[in-house]
Structure 1
């Protein structure tokens, strides 16, 4: 196309020398390396980035660069183009990197409904940078399946949230915990009709429910996650604040409450001004994955029995305290899990750390010793982990290839290892002291993305495996119908995964 007849060309090309082919074997050509600058130079043929920075902004946002990549652009000592104000709306003082981060934040579902004031408040909590806000939002999406389907293995009953926000429940119902307004046990997944018309994004399972009711005390708090720790409940707000209630009057979470106090109270101490991306609760303790300018870190608070708080002792902590061992291990935590008596973390590099009470081999170190600080599971050194789940003396690890490993207490077949022959003591449910591949899940030919297992000391455990194609498999204890699968006569558990008849795409 001739630029002279098609309008004004925005880019002109100069000095494109014509070359002829002298022979089939031309002599080697020596090229002169030219120094390029973001703002161009006097040499013809240069296209200065400053001529149209909107194109650069489009490339930065279109490539979905993460916060670390954007920070590297501004840290470059050879170019000030990415550091200086870009003079674009909505804030003319923001650099291109900051504008790109803000643009990508605005694409996140959790960020869209926030008011301008709420966004600015989150920005200040994250260190005053949109790049750090982006890192916070991405970290939250990575550590749990926000905006996607999920399964929760509760104490004797189960809850399933579909990708469109519908909620199903099944299993034990002696206290009305299925939420259907009855106390009738049911092994079939049934829709909780009182929640129809409300899009649910996250669920946690405790002992009782009867019929779902709005928690009036949380009405003004945008909650993105909940965790139940036997005698208390914790919730995480969209802005990264942690609230707890029903803990009792022993000042165990940084605030003094009465046993009858059901009002949520903010978690005080070190996490007051640090945004939290994930919470996990075990037996009377809480873990918080926090996002700081220096990187990701883990805080713990509550009961220290068995060393499960990770501070090198078994003493209780009344306020959140940083677990310093991860700095020593040079490990950046990305996902945290809290079992009843032990805890685990997955690092950015795929390493797995466990600590706490090591009974039945639930720490995966080949023994039943306790560990009062996080310790790398060496048996998984050739596995890059992306997800972890813990229960009552049981642990599951999901690798980046979708393989699943489990270890710990083998009771009720909840580990997924089919032990057909009894051991020397006549027990068919042998404990696993080191991580073993769950071959029964390997045979379903589905890539597993999430594991959920019972995290209660009062019930035999059952386990759910959710696959990439939104198929749900269940195994373990099923005597109350909590597997969502009908069992044959006299059968109380399933050692092999069986697919639950439920459509998670609805």
Structure 2
């Protein structure tokens, strides 16, 4: 669900955009108006152009190129931010943000987070574990400003299943905060087990590290440093021990992006190679035969094996995404590939089978252009793809 990377819309050119969705759709999360699963990509007809998308447990948030915020899908916890607790099968605007400029957003299992251009943080949805950061365990059906960060500059919000992370930029540099459920160590605030906290607390271990991106999904947390190192904390991969303090992955590779699932994480290098930690469930691991025992990382924790995703020889990857237990990527020539759990059709391959290796998705799109860019996003059991075609400016 969460990828450490923020997509900026183009302002110098006009754009033509096409959007597809597929997979689990019984809560309206596909935006098609139909409450059913779709095994193949469905072309949507949206009245707006998407700048960035966030897919959660069964809801979607969209930031448009004009700065408006839309939501759809499951809304029974208030996660759609529209003042009610009902589902929506079509995108509708969040009117609360009509007077704001939102720059980044994140969708968790049943809560949502939004960051404004002034560095303010707003959250809504399920707050029963303190994951909204308001100092209580209440839920909210409209966005509420997180007062703890009133005098700070929030850069990013990452929403997991029952916890949230915040990347803050202040005079001390970049700091990471956590709040919500912490029983697996996913807050990174103490070496002791913590059930939950409802006010943001500083995540330990980053005192001398410049963090540029954060991610959360399931009971996992992750961050990338400016020098390309991956840090993970929370639930261990492949039955390794939970990490209550961020652990740096012992690898000589330099990573540019990461995407977290419930039991795995994808990693993308600057050279376009994709690696994976964990993910033996539902064929998420690209090659189960290569699974190797965890290697000791320190006295108090261990580390799952890092494996290169197979079946991508001579293929350069430019983007990665992870759902609960499925994965997706985009190659440099605009091909979208998926693998992993396929029960709801979230792989877009026309069936409900699991796949252990990346397989190309057909979008029924005839446009071939060097000016076309593709993005892929994964929710817990559904997937979105966006093709944006840059057009010559009208003069």
Q: Normalising to structure 2: TM-score of the pair?
A: 0.74
The structure whose RCO (Cα within 8 Å, separation 6+) is larger is 2
| Higher normalized helix content (fraction of residues) | 1
From the superposition, tell whether residues 371 and 266 of structure 1 become closer, same or farther in structure 2 (CA, over 3 Å).
same
Alignment match, 2:357: 496
Contact 1:355 1:371 in 2 (8 A): yes
Within a 5 Å distance, the mapping from 1:101-250 to structure 2 comes to: 143-147=5-9, 164-193=16-45, 195-196=46-47, 198-206=48-56, 207=58, 208=73, 209-248=88-127
For residue 145 of structure 1, report the CA deviation from its aligned partner: 2.6
Once residues 464 and 351 of structure 1 are traced to their aligned partners in structure 2, the CA distance between those partners, rounded to angstroms, is 22
Within a 5 Å distance, the mapping from 1:210-359 to structure 2 comes to: 210-248=89-127, 253-255=133-135, 258-259=138-139, 261-269=140-148, 271-312=149-190, 313-315=192-194, 316-327=196-207, 330-359=208-237
Structure 2: unaligned runs, 5 residues or longer:
59-72, 74-87, 292-302, 366-386, 390-395
From the superposition, tell whether residues 278 and 420 of structure 1 become closer, same or farther in structure 2 (CA, over 3 Å).
closer
Contact 1:387 1:449 in 2 (8 A): no
- Secondary structure of 2:311's counterpart equals helix
Once residues 245 and 156 of structure 2 are traced to their aligned partners in structure 1, the CA distance between those partners, rounded to angstroms, is 20
- Secondary structure of 1:143's counterpart equals coil
- Secondary structure of 2:9's counterpart equals coil
Once residues 337 and 257 of structure 1 are traced to their aligned partners in structure 2, the CA distance between those partners, rounded to angstroms, is 22
Q: 1:370 aligns with which of 234, 239, 242?
A: 242
For residue 204 of structure 1, report the CA deviation from its aligned partner: 1.8
Contact 2:6 2:104 in 1 (8 A): no
From the superposition, tell whether residues 250 and 409 of structure 1 become closer, same or farther in structure 2 (CA, over 3 Å).
closer
Q: 1:483 aligns with which of 347, 366, 371?
A: 347
- Total equivalences in the alignment: 318
Q: Normalising to structure 1: TM-score of the pair?
A: 0.58
From the superposition, tell whether residues 475 and 333 of structure 1 become closer, same or farther in structure 2 (CA, over 3 Å).
same
Alignment match, 1:89: none
Once residues 475 and 400 of structure 1 are traced to their aligned partners in structure 2, the CA distance between those partners, rounded to angstroms, is 22
For residue 265 of structure 1, report the CA deviation from its aligned partner: 0.7
For residue 224 of structure 1, report the CA deviation from its aligned partner: 2.7
Once residues 151 and 44 of structure 2 are traced to their aligned partners in structure 1, the CA distance between those partners, rounded to angstroms, is 37
Per-residue CA shift, 1:449-491, capped at 9, x if unaligned? 3221113xxxxx111112333321111122322112224xxx6
From the superposition, tell whether residues 258 and 325 of structure 1 become closer, same or farther in structure 2 (CA, over 3 Å).
closer
Structure 1: unaligned runs, 5 residues or longer:
1-140, 149-162, 362-367, 422-431, 456-460
For residue 229 of structure 1, report the CA deviation from its aligned partner: 2.2
* 2:267 matches 1:397: yes
Once residues 274 and 359 of structure 1 are traced to their aligned partners in structure 2, the CA distance between those partners, rounded to angstroms, is 34
For residue 142 of structure 1, report the CA deviation from its aligned partner: 8.4
Contact 1:418 1:496 in 2 (8 A): no
For residue 255 of structure 1, report the CA deviation from its aligned partner: 4.9
* 2:329 matches 1:450: no
Q: Which moved more, 1:173-182 or 1:281-290?
A: 173-182
Per-residue CA shift, 1:274-325, capped at 9, x if unaligned? 2222221112111112222432221111111111101123322222122231
From the superposition, tell whether residues 251 and 278 of structure 1 become closer, same or farther in structure 2 (CA, over 3 Å).
closer
